[in-house]
Structure 1
Amino acid sequence: MPGAVARRRVPPTGTTRCGFPSRRPRPSCWRSRSMRAKRLARWFDTKGWSDLLIAAPYVWLVIFFLLPFLIVVAMSVGTKTPTAPPISFGGEHPWVSLQGYVRAVTDTLYFRAFITSLVSAGIATVLCLLIGYPMALGLTRVSKSWRNILLMLVILPFWTSFLLRVYAWMGLMGRSSWFNEGVTRIWNAIVPQGWAVDFMPMMHSNFAVVLVMVYTYLPFMILPLYASLERLDPTLDEAALDLGSRPWQVFLDVTLPQSIPGIVAGGMLVFIPAAGELVIPTLVGNAASPMIGRVISDQFSSARDWPMASAIAVVLLVLMVGPAMLYSHFQAKAEGAK
């Protein structure tokens, strides 16, 4: 404006706590932010990335195991309703209902399903151990070139769809298959004439479930056993032989005790998923004697009884994971004492 003294605007030298410009010097909060940024950069330079890598599995377990497990536990204490979703809390029903757990341990249907699952999984685990231990021991005794080829053959079934392999076994166990005819001829050749059969009733039986589970989970037994046996010192076997022990005594006194961690690891990798198996019992199992995985699926889908299915799932998880956690605890305690 004419005759007026133009005022020069002084640029702000700092900001207020709320972020507005101020003529005062920069406050201490700005310096603290800079210090925090420097500390964060120093943390990344020293051990930040290692801490993040270590925390990643724990974050994965929290998101994909702990939270779903808590959701299942919450549903297990709910009440079945005809609404969508078919579960409720409060209202005319109590906030917490333990009827699902009571039925899971007292009802004959669920008790038989638990027994069938545990027995079938136990038989499959023992058979996998009897078949897989010699194979894993043989892998440690061959040359490195053959070892790589044999290891590839062990994991080769994983390159094929799991469902496709189950359907292949369904075809093999059919009445008119060459596998069934061969087993029938062998059976008729070793039994009396009065016990002869036209075909072997393999399908829709517990035998078929165990057979397919052994085929499916056998690599999960071989690989931990191989990893455990490969770390053994072969000079211990040679020393035992030089001291006069027989080969079977060397195996029982030296090799077998040192491979117990591999046996336990392979047993858990086979027994836990086999006990809760769903696909194999549904396709080749006996509907009159279902396994617990199929019972849980039927409760969720057909009966729409989510609290009951969740309670059975929690009981199954406790039965499977509880002994494994106790073993790990005592194993770590024993190693610490050594």
Structure 2
Amino acid sequence: MKKFSQLAIPYIFWCFLMLLLPMLLIAFYSLIKQGNGIVPFTVTLEYYKKFFTDKDFLIVLYRSVMIAIKTTIICFMIGYPVAYYISRCTEKVQNLLILCITLPTWINMLVRTYAWIGILTKGGLISTICAFFGFKDVELLYTESAVLIGMVYNFLPFMILQINTSLTKMDKSLIEAANDLGANKIQTFLRVIFPLSLPGVVSGITLVFLPAVSSFFIPKLLGGGDFFLIGNVIENQFITVGEWNFGSAIAIIMAVLMMFLMMLVRKIESRTSQRED
């Protein structure tokens, strides 16, 4: 046991260096303000106060949360039926379908998002199809719909894979027992299948919502720079404005929000597992 703990030391050091140390530096920058020549910096909560007292930043945060919620709902509405269909197929077909879903994720997300610019722009694929059916001058690019399409496309596989894992691992004898007791397909789904798949649903929601709420390059590319989310604000503060202190404060606020949401998800998962037991 002692040898295993010693072997873990390099990994612990690496995690501290690559994960914890950057977060500590961001937290440090968010709490300091440049001082005069005698005192190099002073501790302050000015940047946190600035975020919560400025209406514009709160509007951006609200917009980011709403976009993330819409993305999560759409991914769930599309992902659950797809995952359910995959789980009902034979093992060979399941592997093939899972490969088809994961194959696009092998390509860099930035490249995949760039591809949607050509699809959504005026004269692109969607515009051409709409024109064929009589809807002319349809251009979705640089709108909220374009941002939603890009986010759903990029994050949908995470929802499908998590739900499919729960459905595949489900004890099929419980479904047979429900059928023997006289439950129809709808009752079996609502009382047996869906409750047992909730851990996968919760995990899928987590893996979609958290990156969606902090995404910055998808709204930047598909929103045309006019559709700002909180991730774009953080990027703008660091790269364009040069306000590292304020950008760090916003990053810490988002990190705390995400940790709170993860704790909430953990509680939901524990309650779900207790009900199953």
Please say if residues 72 and 310 of structure 1, whose CA atoms lie closer than 8 Å, have aligned partners that are also in contact: yes
Q: Rate the CA distance shift 1:220–1:58 in 2: closer, same or farther, 3 A.
A: farther
Deviation at 1:199, TM superposition (A): 1.8
Please say if residues 117 and 276 of structure 1, whose CA atoms lie closer than 8 Å, have aligned partners that are also in contact: yes
Q: 2:31 aligns with which of 45, 58, 77?
A: 77
Q: Rate the CA distance shift 1:328–1:148 in 2: closer, same or farther, 3 A.
A: same
Which residue pairs with 1:215 in the alignment?
Answer: 153
1:292 is aligned to 2:239:
no
SS in 1 for 2:60: helix
Q: 2:22 aligns with which of 64, 68, 75?
A: 68
Q: 2:259 aligns with which of 315, 321, 328?
A: 321
Which residue pairs with 2:220 in the alignment?
Answer: 282
SS in 2 for 1:95: strand
Deviation at 1:218, TM superposition (A): 0.9
Number of residue pairs aligned between Structure 1 and Structure 2: 276
Residues 80-103 of structure 1 deviation map (CA, whole Å, 9 limit, x = unaligned)? xxxxxxx56995686211111011
SS in 2 for 1:123: helix
* Divergent runs of 4+, >4 A: 52-60, 87-94, 329-338
Q: 1:152 aligns with which of 99, 110, 135?
A: 99
Deviates more, 1:283-292 or 1:294-303: 283-292
Which residue pairs with 1:139 in the alignment?
Answer: 86
Q: Structure 1: 5+ residue runs without aligned partners? A: 1-46, 80-86, 189-196
Which protein is bigger by CA-based radius of gyration? 1
Deviation at 1:65, TM superposition (A): 2.1
In the TM superposition, 1:103-142 aligns within 5 A as 103-142=50-89
Deviation at 1:181, TM superposition (A): 2.2
Deviation at 1:198, TM superposition (A): 2.8
| CA distance in structure 2 between the partners assigned to 1:92 and 1:333 by the alignment | 51
Residues 24-69 of structure 1 deviation map (CA, whole Å, 9 limit, x = unaligned)? xxxxxxxxxxxxxxxxxxxxxxx24543566676545433222111
Deviates more, 1:268-277 or 1:50-59: 50-59
| CA distance in structure 2 between the partners assigned to 1:314 and 1:223 by the alignment | 30
Give the structure with the higher percent helix.
2
SS in 2 for 1:244: coil
Aligned residues: percent identity?
33
| CA distance in structure 1 between the partners assigned to 2:217 and 2:10 by the alignment | 31
Deviation at 1:211, TM superposition (A): 0.4
| CA distance in structure 2 between the partners assigned to 1:247 and 1:138 by the alignment | 14
In the TM superposition, 1:193-272 aligns within 5 A as 198-272=136-210
| CA distance in structure 2 between the partners assigned to 1:275 and 1:304 by the alignment | 23
Deviation at 1:318, TM superposition (A): 1.1
Please say if residues 300 and 306 of structure 1, whose CA atoms lie closer than 8 Å, have aligned partners that are also in contact: yes
| CA distance in structure 1 between the partners assigned to 2:136 and 2:15 by the alignment | 52
Please say if residues 121 and 274 of structure 1, whose CA atoms lie closer than 8 Å, have aligned partners that are also in contact: yes
Q: 2:108 aligns with which of 138, 161, 165?
A: 161
> Which letter maps to 2:154?
T
Q: Rate the CA distance shift 1:50–1:108 in 2: closer, same or farther, 3 A.
A: same
Please say if residues 75 and 310 of structure 1, whose CA atoms lie closer than 8 Å, have aligned partners that are also in contact: yes
| CA distance in structure 2 between the partners assigned to 1:123 and 1:201 by the alignment | 21
Q: Rate the CA distance shift 1:218–1:327 in 2: closer, same or farther, 3 A.
A: closer
Q: Rate the CA distance shift 1:109–1:167 in 2: closer, same or farther, 3 A.
A: same
Q: Normalised by the size of structure 1, how large is the TM-score?
A: 0.75
Q: Structure 2: 5+ residue runs without aligned partners? A: none
| CA distance in structure 2 between the partners assigned to 1:99 and 1:314 by the alignment | 14
Q: 1:171 aligns with which of 118, 121, 133?
A: 118
> Which letter maps to 1:304?
G
Q: Rate the CA distance shift 1:258–1:91 in 2: closer, same or farther, 3 A.
A: farther
Which residue pairs with 2:244 in the alignment?
Answer: 306
Q: Normalised by the size of structure 2, how large is the TM-score?
A: 0.90
Q: Rate the CA distance shift 1:61–1:137 in 2: closer, same or farther, 3 A.
A: farther
